[in-house]
């Protein structure tokens, strides 16, 4: 066999990593490896024939449970990564397996210690990129700083744009996120962005858990969510309503006006996120005073900071339903009204 005959396998070039692998398995110099050796070894290493990028999924510190769910659905083991802090609180990340030529996905949600988790994500992206990963996709179920998407007053930062720039500079080739607070955030990137929607999971939950949903009204707690609720209402073939709110400052509601009829009907509040739950609390009171028989709340991102849990427990809600873009185990222990749809791993693995 000529010297260059074993540089390819069925017409597919062997890269240096494959040559090293073959050398280690045959315990001989690569120049002595025969074509039969290569065929035999490639049976146990499908990436050699043909040479296709494999998928590797790494999870950050923010939501390890979601990483495991996604990997289980894909039939993969989570990638080996260690994230730790130095004594001065700097973040250190170690990727403990090769990602050369691989299609890497990094799962990190914008929750918990948001700034630390964002920095950890940036470092993980950069570590994989400079380790010769063929592509790095950042899976960010809850996008951090999404509410700072526009300059609504003098000298206000557009922090969502800054985060987009940092992700791109770190080396991300692709972003996957969920129900962005403002869809225009996709335009902040010069790389592909997939904004997935929880709408199918929300509709399925309503159909399964509210038997009389045909007597329900889908309600948006603000004008910005009108498109979201009309889409859900149309698919369920039911009515929708809108609450117009005037906010004096962050997390405080000044007044609310209900547009629509909820008399003797089930009101289902739908929003993209719930933080302190002030909006939900006042909206539920407004709906009941307008004659609603029952009130539910559904949101994609259950942030639940500050007084949120106590507000939920003291509220008239039948249930507050969230997805698992943010870990909810502790919140569900503290409130029996919180329910987790737990379908985002299905959506993310599609």
Q: Does the pTM of the predicted model rise above 0.85? A: no
CA separation for the pair 309, 337 (Å, rounded): 10
User: pLDDT below 70 — which residues of the chain?
Assistant: 1-53, 246-254, 343-350
CA distances from 207 to 215, 233, 236 (A): 12, 12, 8
Dihedral, CA atoms, 107, 110, 113, 115, nearest 10 degrees?
A: 100
pLDDT on residue 244: 84
CA separation for the pair 142, 144 (Å, rounded): 6
Same topology, domains 55-196 and 199-343? Answer is yes
pLDDT on residue 256: 81
Pick the CATH number of 55-196 from 2.160.10.10, 3.40.50.1370, 3.40.50.300, 3.40.50.2020: 3.40.50.2020
Cβ neighbourhood burial of 7 (10 Å; 0-12, 13-18, 19+)? exposed
Residue 286: name the closest of 250, 223, 242, 230 by CA. 242
CA separation for the pair 14, 31 (Å, rounded): 13
β 91-95/81-85 pair status: antiparallel
Q: Where are the beta strands (DSSP E) in the chain?
A: 8-9, 12-13, 55-59, 81-85, 91-95, 103-107, 135-140, 174-178, 193-196, 216-220, 239-249, 252-259, 266-274, 294-302, 320-322, 338-340
Q: Is 242 helix (H, G, I), strand (E, B) or coil?
A: strand
Cβ neighbourhood burial of 30 (10 Å; 0-12, 13-18, 19+)? middle
pLDDT on residue 228: 93
Cβ neighbourhood burial of 26 (10 Å; 0-12, 13-18, 19+)? middle
**Residue keyed to tokens 């557009």:** 158
pLDDT digits (tens, 9 = 90+) for 95-134: 999 999 999 999 999 999 999 999 999 999 999 999 999 9
CA distances from 188 to 105, 150, 161, 246, 301 (A): 21, 11, 5, 28, 21
Q: Could you tell me which residues are beta bridge partners of residue 239?
A: 217
CA distances from 197 to 67, 180, 347 (A): 18, 9, 8
**Residue keyed to tokens 């010069």:** 190
pLDDT on residue 50: 42
Domain 199-343's class?
A: alpha beta
Positive or negative: CA dihedral 59, 63, 67, 70: negative
Tokens representing residue 112 in the block? 């918990």
CA distances from 5 to 12, 35, 37, 38, 249 (A): 11, 8, 13, 11, 72
Task: Please provide the DSSP assignment of 191-240 as one string.
Answer: S-EEEE--HHHHHHHHHHH-TTGGGEEEEESSGGGHHHHHHHHHHHT-EE
Task: Confirm if 57 and 74 have CB atoms less than 8 A apart.
Answer: yes
CA separation for the pair 181, 325 (Å, rounded): 13
Q: Show me where the domains of the chain are located.
A: 5-48, 55-196, 199-343
């Amino acid at each position: 066999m000529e010297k260059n005959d074993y540089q390819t396998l069925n017409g597919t070039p062997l890269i240096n990593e494959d040559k090293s692998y073959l050398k280690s398995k045959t315990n001989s110099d690569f120049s002595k490896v025969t074509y039969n050796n290569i065929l035999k070894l490639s049976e146990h290493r499908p990436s050699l024939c043909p040479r296709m990028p494999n998928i590797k999924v790494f999870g950050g510190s923010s939501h390890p449970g979601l990483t495991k769910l996604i990997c289980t659905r894909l039939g993969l083991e989570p990638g080996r990564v260690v994230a730790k802090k130095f004594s001065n609180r700097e973040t250190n990340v170690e990727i403990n397996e090769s990602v050369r030529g691989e299609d890497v996905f990094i799962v990190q949600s914008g929750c918990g210690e948001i700034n630390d988790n964002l920095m950890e994500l940036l470092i993980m992206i950069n570590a994989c990129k400079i380790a010769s990963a063929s592509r790095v996709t950042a899976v960010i179920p809850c996008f951090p700083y999404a509410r700072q998407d526009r300059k609504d007053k003098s000298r206000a930062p557009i922090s969502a744009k800054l985060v987009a720039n940092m992700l791109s500079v770190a080396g991300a080739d692709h972003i996957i996120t969920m129900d962005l607070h403002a869809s225009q955030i996709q335009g902040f990137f010069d790389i592909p962005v997939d904004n997935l929607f929880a709408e199918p999971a929300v509709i399925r939950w309503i159909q399964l858990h509210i038997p009389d949903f045909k007597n329900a009204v889908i309600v948006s707690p603000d004008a910005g969510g009108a498109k979201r609720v009309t889409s859900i209402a149309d698919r369920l073939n039911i009515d929708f309503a809108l609450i117009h709110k005037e906010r004096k400052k962050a997390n405080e509601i000044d007044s609310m006006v209900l547009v629509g009829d909820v008399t003797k009907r089930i009101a289902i509040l739908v929003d993209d996120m719930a933080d302190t739950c002030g909006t939900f609390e006042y909206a539920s009171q407004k709906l009941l005073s307008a004659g609603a028989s029952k009130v539910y709340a559904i949101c994609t991102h259950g942030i639940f900071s500050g007084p949120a849990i106590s507000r939920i427990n003291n509220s008239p809600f039948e249930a507050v339903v969230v997805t698992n873009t943010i870990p909810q185990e502790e919140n569900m222990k503290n409130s029996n009204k919180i329910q987790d749809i737990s379908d985002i791993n299905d959506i993310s693995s599609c």
